Every structure is written in structure tokens, then in C-alpha cells.
Chains A and B, each alone.
Chain A
Amino acid sequence: MKYQQANVIVGYVTIHIKGKHPEHFLKQCATNNITVMNVRKIAQDICMGTIYLHDLKNVKRLIQDTTYELIKIDSPKGLFPTAKKLWSNKVMIVTICLCIIFLFGLANIAWKMEISGVSEETELNIREKLEKEGLYEGAWTFNTLDIDLIQQHVLHEMPELMYIGIRKKGTTYHIDAIEKQQEKRIEDLPNRHLVASKNGEIESIFVKKGVGKVAVNDIVEKGDLLVSGEIEKEAEEEEDKDKNEDDKEQLQKVAAEGEVYANTWYEMDVTSPLTQSESQFSGAAYERHFIDIMDFVLPVWGFKQPYANYVKEEKSHALKIFNYTFPIKLKTKIYYEMTNNIQPGTKEEAKERAINHIESNLKRKAGKNSEVLYYKVLHERLDNGKVKMNLYVSVLEDIAQPKEIH
């Protein structure tokens, strides 16, 4: 039986038919492919039945050729007729829309900010910094605040902070921050020697604690003792001790500290291309806007792929009312145009770039106090548009490396 239950959605209407054997007319309707439902006899010559709203025209047309009368048509019911009725009531629709907009507005304002984990002074500072970034009590937060970016900016501007985390819960922003603690005291360090981390010629020694075991211009090899963590005990203490004690027992162990700068040598191979490729932003940008409904992305504005070379940035804002997040997001994709410049260069320029690169690389490896004393090009050749060099580099660097005393 093809009993259809779609009448609630499509819309239906109840009609009253008057005449001799009104059920015959309803059967005629059914023969003409009009679905008739809930047929009841309410009088000897009156029948009522329900039909789909869209069939009403056909019923009226059919009844014209008969002796039956359509005496009453009830008001239409169902989803579409109700929506149609509601649509005619414009004031109510405007009121509902205004209510939603008002609620949306209220839900996208930062009503409260709670900062925890820091002292009052730091809390005030954080509040100031956040206000500069646009996050304060009463601020409009939809589409304007990027929490990750704010966190980065505040951390950058307040070096005394180790961590800051901003969480949005409803209309309240919870800010958890941790201040940096004092650096670990040197006393906590274990007893240790300082040994050479690589071969070199000593240039200068600065011992804070311990006994220096090398002198300037000494040649040391990797693993050689530079500053000893075993020092002799003070005279008063020594007197109390038994004179027959071993030498080892008269030594006090400390954590040796100091800097030992030595001239070290490196032999390196480096390759540098003659041409140089540079990517630059041209300054042009193109925005595309989308609506994301449950992962179905619908383009709204900006339909072309503007540039051949570009860097893409994506921003996404979910619609939220208090704690409820709608499955609708407003997405923006910004395309920044990039230009690639390939500049031909000379052999000298390529060499200079390679040497600069080596210098910065060595400085990064050997520490910020290190210095490239001189370099010598042992061998160089031009191969496939690239300059290949074999370099000998002399570096002044701190070679002291702690080694625990067991």
C-alpha cells in the first residue's frame, strides 16, 4: 500500500463534499490520481476528506462538471502552509531576526577576563598589553581577535613571562600565565672538571672556580684537562687532618667554572651557485571568502585564482552563541603575490656568499662569543654553474666542556 505520509511536509487541506453519494465523487478524485485521506461520512449527503494542498485546484476543476458541491474548505495545514503564513507576518520575522542578531552580538563580546598564576603587578601588565591587542572587558571579539597572535605578542613584549595561555569559555576569557623563575643556582651544579671539547691552541683562560691546568699558547687535544675541579683544602682544615692521609683525600671537589678560548681549525667543503634566486612579496593581495557548512565549502566572494606564485593565508571564524558553536564557519583565504627573481652573479659574489654562510654557520655552532680569525681557500673550481671550494678556517672559540668527577 502506497500510503504516503508526506502530507505534513507538503501541506494538506480538509474538504467537505455535499451531494447524493458524495463518496462516489471522492472515488472519482482517486481515479484521477488525487490521493484522498481520512474520508468520513458526517451526514447522509455530506462527506469530508483530506487532500494534498496542490490537488485542491484539480478537485475544484472536477467538481464543476458534477452535481456535487464543495461546501467547506478548512484552512490548510502542514509545514509549507505554516511557513507561508509565518512569512506573511513580517513583523514577527523582523523581531526574530533582530533577537538573533542581538543574541549573537551579546555572545561575541568579552564580558569577563580572569587572569591566574601571576602576581598582581604582572596581572596589571598583562591586562595593559591585552588591551593594546584589543582584548578587554567589553571588547567585540568576533572576527577581530586572533588568540594565538595575541599570545605571541604578549609573550614577546613581556620577557618575564614563561608561558601565557588564553582560553575562551562562553563570553569569559581565562588567561593562565606562568612567570619565569630565578635561574638555578650554581651551587646546584655537580662537581666537575672542564676538559677540551676539541683540539686547539690556547689563546686565553678565565677561571671562575677550580684550578687552571693549561697555559696560553699550549696545544691541547680533545679530552685534555683544562680546569680541574679538585682544589686543595684550606690550611686550617688541613691542620686538623691526619698528616698520613693520602693526597687524594686532601683535595676538595668543586664544580669547575670558566672559559678557555682556543684557536681551533676546520677544513670545510662548500658549494655556492652563481645565480641567485630571490622570492619577494609584490605587495598585491587578493581575498576570497567562503562559507563552510559542515565541511561543505561554498564560495561567496572572489572566484578566481589570482596569481601564479603566491603564499596563501587562511582565516576561519566559527559562529558561536555562548558555548554553542554552529557548524557554520566564515572562511577567508588571502593570496599574497610572490615574485621570483633569478639574478645572475659573478664567481667572486658566489665565493663571498659561501664564505659568509660558513662564517655564520660556524658562529652558530661554536657559540655567540666565537670569532672567525682567518680563512684560506685551499682549492676552488667552477662546476655546473656552481663554485666549489675547500676552505681552511681558523676560529677563536670557548672549548671548555664540563666532565663530571666520579
Chain B
Amino acid sequence: MKPFRQLMKPLSQPSIFFPSTHTDKPIMTIKGNEQIIIENVYTLEHFSKEKIIIKSGNNTINMTGKNLILQVMLKDELLIKGELYDITFLS
């Protein structure tokens, strides 16, 4: 069983399926104007109901909107919900 497990081990690494784990650039997934998922690296600079500022790598991402909440905060991931008006990238 052991050689078989060793053979299979690389296959179970998430990097095979999610190459995003190899890059230091943020990956943003936007669903309409109501949800944004930011993956990889981020620093939360500012948070209020109307504005969220996030620093990710060399970029600063400004988001404005209404009733913004941080749905889920994980070490490297962030899910923002609310009514989004604007997203700006500042380098």
C-alpha cells in the first residue's frame, strides 16, 4: 500500500488542480455586482459599509458600494458581499 500512496500523494496536492497557489498575484472572481472573491494575498486596509480598501501585492484595490460586508475571511481568501458600485486598482 505504501508505494501506491506515495505514487498518489502528488495527485492529492491542491496545486495540481489550482495553479493559482503558485502565483503571488491576487485572483479576483466577481459575480455580478454583488459578490467578489479575492484569493491569494491580501491585506485589509480599511473596511466600512460603503468602502473597502485592500492591499494585494503591489496593488491597492478600492471598492465602493452599499451595505458591504465581509462574508468570509480566511488567511488567504476573502469574500465580500453587498451592492458594488465601483472597483479601482491603484499601483
A interface, CB within 8 angstroms of B: 1-4, 21, 23-24, 26-27, 29-31, 33, 35-41, 47, 49
Contact = CB atoms under 8 A, between A and B. Distances in A.
B47 A39 contact: yes
Contacts of A41: 47-49
A36 B79 contact: no
B14 to A, nearest CB: 10
B77 interface: yes
* Secondary structure call for the A interface: mixed
A1 B29 CA distance: 10
Contacts of B8: none
Nearest to A42: B49
Contacts of B75: 30-31, 33
25 contacts: A1-B37, A1-B39, A1-B77, A2-B77, A3-B71, A3-B72, A23-B44, A23-B46, A23-B47, A26-B44, A27-B43, A27-B73, A31-B75, A33-B75, A35-B74, A36-B70, A36-B72, A37-B72, A37-B73, A38-B70, A39-B47, A39-B70, A39-B73, A47-B47, A49-B70
A1 B44 contact: no
Contacts of B61: none
Interface secondary structure of B, over-half rule: strand
Interface string B35-51: 00101000110111100
A2 B73 contact: no
Given A1-B72, A26-B70, A37-B72, 6 more contacts: A1-B29, A2-B77, A24-B44, A27-B44, A40-B49, A49-B70
Given A23-B44, A41-B49, A47-B47, A1 B79 contact: yes
A35 B73 CA distance: 6
Given A1-B39, A1-B79, A39-B69, A30 B47 contact: no
B49 A37 contact: no
Contacts of B39: 1
Contacts of B29: 1
A4 B74 CA distance: 10
A35 B44 contact: no
